[in-house]
Amino acid sequence: MLNKTMVNLSRTHSLNEFQEEAPAILNQFKTDKSPIILTVDGKIVAVVQDAENYQQLLDKIELLESLAGIRKSLEEFEQGKGIPLNQAFAQFQAKYDLPD
């Protein structure tokens, strides 16, 4: 469920209003690039944002997931769950049939 405090509700339009006034709404969107919130029966159903900001969001998520994975790996290693690098590399070579 989308938390209403996380989005700027000043750019909220019903889906019907958006369909009727799309050119004007999208023209403003081009200049300020603020996300547009679309509602149906007063409930948020979609957020429209420009492609550049969307890609930046995806990049940040990917980075955060990578950092979380590294943090988890470090914690597991500190708990003695890791294996020596040369052993891990040998398993990797065997799994993917890589030459020595």
> Cα separation of 86 and 82, whole Å?
12
Which pLDDT value is given to residue 51? 92
Which pLDDT value is given to residue 85? 85
pTM of the model as a whole: 0.63
* Residue 33 parent element (H or E): none
Residue owning tokens 């969307």: 54
Which pLDDT value is given to residue 5? 47
Backbone angles phi, psi at 50, to 5 degrees: -70, 155
Task: Give the residues of the chain that fall short of pLDDT 50.
Answer: 4-5
Spacing of C-alpha 90 from chain mean position: 34
* Residue 10 parent element (H or E): none
Q: Cβ(81)–Cβ(72) under 8 Å?
A: no
Candidates 1.20.1070, 3.40.1620, 3.40.50, 1.10.1740; CATH matching 1-49: 3.40.1620
